[in-house]
Structure 1
Amino acid sequence: MTTPDIDNINVAAFDPMPTPDEIHARLPLTAVAARTVRDGRAALRGILDRTDHRLFVVVGPCSIHDPVAGLDYARRLKALADEVSDTLFIVMRVYFEKPRTTTGWKGFINDPHMDDSFRIDVGMERARRFLLDIAELGLAAGTEALDPIAPQYLGDLISWTAIGARTTESQTHRELSSGLSTPVGFKNGTNGDVGIAVNAIVSASRQHSFLGINECGRSAVVRTRGNRYGHLVLRGGDGRPNYDTVSVQIAGEALAKAGLPVNIVVDCSHANSYKKPDQQPLVLENVVNQIRLGNRSLIGAMLESNIVAGNQPIPDDVAKLADLTYGCSVTDACISWETTEKALREAAARLRDVLPGRQ
């Protein structure tokens, strides 16, 4: 018996979606890609466990909207990653989902054609194709976990995961993180509250049971073991930075009080750069200075970077999408490739003689 007057009254349609197994069958994990993911996760665990002295840096576009330009960026980043691999472990930022406070483009998976057609089935498959291409280059990928179902489609190609400032307090994302196969960075709240992220790390380290889907797309009770590789990401809040020495010290004390490893990543973007992309290298330089002066809690950094600096709006007229500037962000503004190279080379040079002594 149907009850249209009380059931799904605000749902317009249920469109079919391929199962994770079906997407995996079309785009199977290759041996090269699997090795990249395993090696990437192992390197990150080593850095968090302090058996690998390197600093890890998650760097890349604010969001992926053009896979061709994204792969172009990835090839450049792979060459740079190899060059600085003795000091920095580079993870490419590959963000397909964008949380929105009100409205706006929700990302490549949700609307891959950027025309409000919302072909999530197409977006998910194209996102997996892109991640495969990145992994086959030998470059580890990091992303933000937003949709709790997406990891079943893409999780085998991810080496590092972020939980964003808007979702760190979400029970759903804490439970999800407890079952992820990657290290997970929890960002402080949008208001700058570090306690929210500390609580999230503790929660994600525990076992959980929650409703999800399995590889066949069937509803399942997901039972997790807990993820012991949660760590804190400082991104500023309420328009103010929190990467200074005092803020880092206070954050470290909060982690230690909770019985957690004192592992801190600084997101050089967002409030830490006052949303001014050209200040990101200055934030990274400050992180390097703190490490050179003896800080042992800073183990990573994040940069929003693209081929071309700045950002551009998505045109309302679909016919004008072809006029978008190649390699330029359509979400938050980024630093250019040339600025990225310079910042990472300088960081590696200044840390090369310091990091081995921190193990």
Structure 2
Amino acid sequence: MLTVLSSAPSRKALLSAVPLSDAAKKTKLDNDKTIKDIVGGKDNRKLVVCGPCSADNPEAAVEYCVRLKSVADKVKDKLFLTPRLYVAKARTHGEDYQGLLMDAKEGGSLSDNAFLCRKMFVEVLERTGLPVADELLFAEQIEFFGDIVSYCFIGARQCDSPFFRGLASGLDVAVGVKNNLAGNLSLLAFSLQAIAMKRRFFDRGREVVSDGALCHGVLRGFSDSSGVMRPNNDGASVGEFARILKENKLNKFIMIDCSHANSGKNYLRQTENAINAIKNPLCGGIMLESYLKEGRCEGGVFGCSRTDACLGWSQTEELLLELHGLL
């Protein structure tokens, strides 16, 4: 049984309370095009999506993005940097911190959080001009943040779902789709095929038709039948996925998630994974979990991840400059 606590904020109310400037609107559209051009093979730069596992603190997230902008300007001829600003987290066991959007503090509401998240996204775009990347967990995120987010991801727990495939197929921005927790690359190809095609479905009380989205696969490793984490960022796995994409006439762009099962949950392995991915001509981009402070902290330490452990800022900056030098 559901108990209705309140109505979700309307798109009109959010855009009115936290608007984008005309300049930021143009920047957003320019970012959309750049990412699509890279994913679609028209721009040969490498994509790098990096940021905290969860953007839990708006002030820390904005500071991270301001720092990232300074590096982005140095490497922009070969790398296009996109901050990862996930505000809703899918938890395997349904426990623990579920993201800034879903963190119902005592006396507060999820609706309040929607305004807070939007304010953070707008500040990042207005101050840095960097594109915003977010993971789609709820249809409402499209209403709340669709005019700001330039890169959308479908996670390992949602990629096989017809609901999320339908939502993603209607997005106007590039969509990255992770392999599922079992690591089945053929199923990932099926998800990409479904998201790329025109679809007719029900969406938030409406019958709609989507045009299909420009999408690509993200290899994030997997857990085997015994629960042991296994990587799929090795040359053989990437080559096999490239073969599957070609066989099914799908977009050949492949991104490597350097964290999660590919790192065995050891955040320091991200550095090696990133270097290997950049050297692989089949890989068009990478994803890193990175924040102001290294590791993982309990209790809401400013700039330190409260979910997956992250690379610290100095490690991130050094790695990005090294990757640029390798290209």
SS class of match (1:12): coil
Match of 2:163 among 165, 172, 184: 172
Distance 1:19 1:255 in 2: 39
After the TM superposition, which residues 177-216 of structure 1 pair with which residues of structure 2 at under 5 Å, given as runs? 177-213=168-204
Selected match of 1:342 from 302, 305, 318? 318
SS of residue in 2 equivalent to 1:254 = helix
**Aligned mate of 1:144, from 118, 130, 135:** 135
CA shift, 1:118, in A, is: 6.4
1:100 deviation in Å?
1.3
Identity %: 32
Note if 1:235 corresponds to 2:225: no
Cα-to-partner distance string for 1:61-99 (whole Å, 9 max, x where unaligned): 111111111111110001111110001000000100000
Per the normalisation by structure 1, the TM-score is 0.86
Matched, 1:253 2:243: yes
Aligned length: 320
The equivalent residue for 1:85 is 76
1:158-177 CA-to-partner distances (Å, cap 9, x unmatched) read 11111000000000010001
CA distance in structure 1 between the aligned counterparts of 2:48 and 2:258, rounded to whole angstroms: 10
1:223 has 2:213 as partner: no
Corresponding residue of 1:61: 52
Q: 1:23 Cα deviation (Å)?
A: 0.8
Letter in 2 for 1:266: I
User: Counterpart of 2:118?
Assistant: 128
Taking the aligned partners of 1:337 and 1:112, their CA distance within structure 2 comes to: 29
How far off is 1:37 after superposition? 1.4
Aligned residue identity for 2:117: A
Confirm or deny: 8 A CA contact 1:188 1:195 kept in the other structure.
Answer: no
Q: Which residue of 1 aligns with 2:102?
A: 110
Instruction: Name the counterpart of 1:304.
Output: 289
- Matching residue of 2:226: none
Summarize deviations over 1:213-262 as a string: whole Å, max 9, x none: 4xxxxx322321111x1101000001011111111100000111111121
SS in 2 for 1:286: helix
CA drift of 1:112 comes to 5.6
**C-alpha separation in 2, matches of 1:223 and 1:333:** 40
Equivalent residues of 1:33, 1:135 under 8 A apart: yes
Question: What is the Cα deviation at residue 36 of structure 1?
Answer: 2.1
1:287 pairs, out of 251, 274, 277, with 277
SS at match of 2:239: helix
Q: Structure 2 CA distance, aligned partners of 1:163 and 1:260? A: 17
Q: Is the 8 A contact 1:148 1:172 kept in 2?
A: no
TM-score of the two chains, using structure 2 as the length reference: 0.95
Please tell me whether residue 37 in structure 1 is matched to residue 13 in structure 2: no
Q: Does 2:246 match 1:270? A: no
> Is the 8 Å Cα contact of residues 62 and 304 (structure 1) preserved in structure 2?
yes
- Matched letter for residue 17 of structure 2: R
Task: Tell me how far apart the structure 1 counterparts of residues 36 and 3 of structure 2 sit (CA, whole Å).
Answer: 44
**SS of residue paired to 2:146:** helix
More deviation, 26-35/270-279: 26-35
The equivalent of 1:331 in structure 2 is: 307
- Unpaired runs of at least 5, structure 2: 224-228
Higher-Rg structure is 1
C-alpha change, 1:44 and 1:107, in structure 2 (3 Å) is same
Q: What 5-or-longer segments of structure 1 have no aligned partner? A: 1-9, 214-218, 315-323, 352-359
RMSD, aligned α-carbons: 1.3
CA contact (8 A) 2:278 2:285 kept: no
Q: Which AA in structure 1 matches 2:303?
A: G
- How far 1:269 sits from its partner (Å)? 0.4
**CA separation in 2, counterparts of 1:222 and 1:334?**
39
1:51 corresponds to 2:42? yes
* 1:197–1:232 contact (8 Å) kept in structure 2: yes
1:292-312 deviations in whole A, cap 9, x for unaligned? xxx2x3111000000001112
* In structure 2, C-alpha distance between the alignment counterparts of 1:231 and 1:265, rounded to whole Å: 8
Residue deviations 1:15-64 (CA, integer Å, cap 9, x gap): 12221111111112211221221111111111122221100000001111
